[in-house]
Amino acid sequence: MDPETSKARLRAQVRARRAERFRASSRPDEPTIATALTEAIARMRPGDDFTGRTVVAYAGLPGEPDLDPALDDLLRRGARVLLPVVTRLGEALRFGEVTGTMATLRPQGRWGIREPVAQLSATALLAEAVPDLILVPALGFGPGGARLGNGGGFYDRTFGPFGEAPLDQAQSPRTAPGPRVVGVCFADETDLPGLTVEPWDLRIGETLTEDGLERPSPEK
């Protein structure tokens, strides 16, 4: 089976599990990724004042890991939160700043993604103020930081090695220069079989699930 067919099947399997999870809904006392993110950020940067700190995140679609409560908490504490704005297939993402709360954003475009007004290209974003943290959504991850995206290639064209604003995540996230890049998925979507890092792929240095932060397993 060729790699693209394998990825397409894996995407279908993950989406089916997510749809079932969304239909079942979470128990009120069940750990959430938003809670795990809030706790992880507290460990990364203790203290309540986040004025001047920049976080690049995303607005989850139904069934995706929901970061809204954690992002609203960061906004209340003075952080600058930017979200991707999808352009067109084959182009890099742009980014807009959240000026209210996550609930004020409305779905836009063909995919119905909640987006702020686009203001910055990735190059301008990194030149203006290097984010402390970039949270990258995914359907899952494999060994070596391989990422299973939705198939549009937006994050690879934006932050991958040949993208508009390449990020080097080959080093430890605690020593690498630039922003800390963390991939987000559910705990049962880590270490997916058959995924490899292609030369053009954005490699993920850490993953965040409802179980917390962890490093991906080494490439085999």
Give the domain CATH number at 84.
3.40.50.10420
Residue 198 lies in a domain: yes
Q: Which structural domain, as residue segments, surrounds residue 85?
A: 3-214
Please name the helix (run of DSSP H) or strand (run of DSSP E) that holds residue 40, with its range, or none: helix 33-44
Residue 54 lies in a domain: yes
Residue 220 lies in a domain: no
Report, as an integer, the average pLDDT of 5-28: 86
The confidence score (pLDDT) of residue 218 equals: 81
Residue 219 lies in a domain: no
Residue 179 lies in a domain: yes
Residue 119 lies in a domain: yes
pLDDT tens-place string over residues 65-119? 999 999 999 999 999 999 999 888 889 999 999 999 999 999 988 889 999 988 8
The confidence score (pLDDT) of residue 174 equals: 45
Across the chain, mean pLDDT equals: 88
Total number of domains in the chain: 1
Size (the chain), residues: 220
pTM of the model: 0.91
Amino acid residing at 18: R
Residue 128 lies in a domain: yes
CA 27 from chain centre, in angstroms, equals: 24
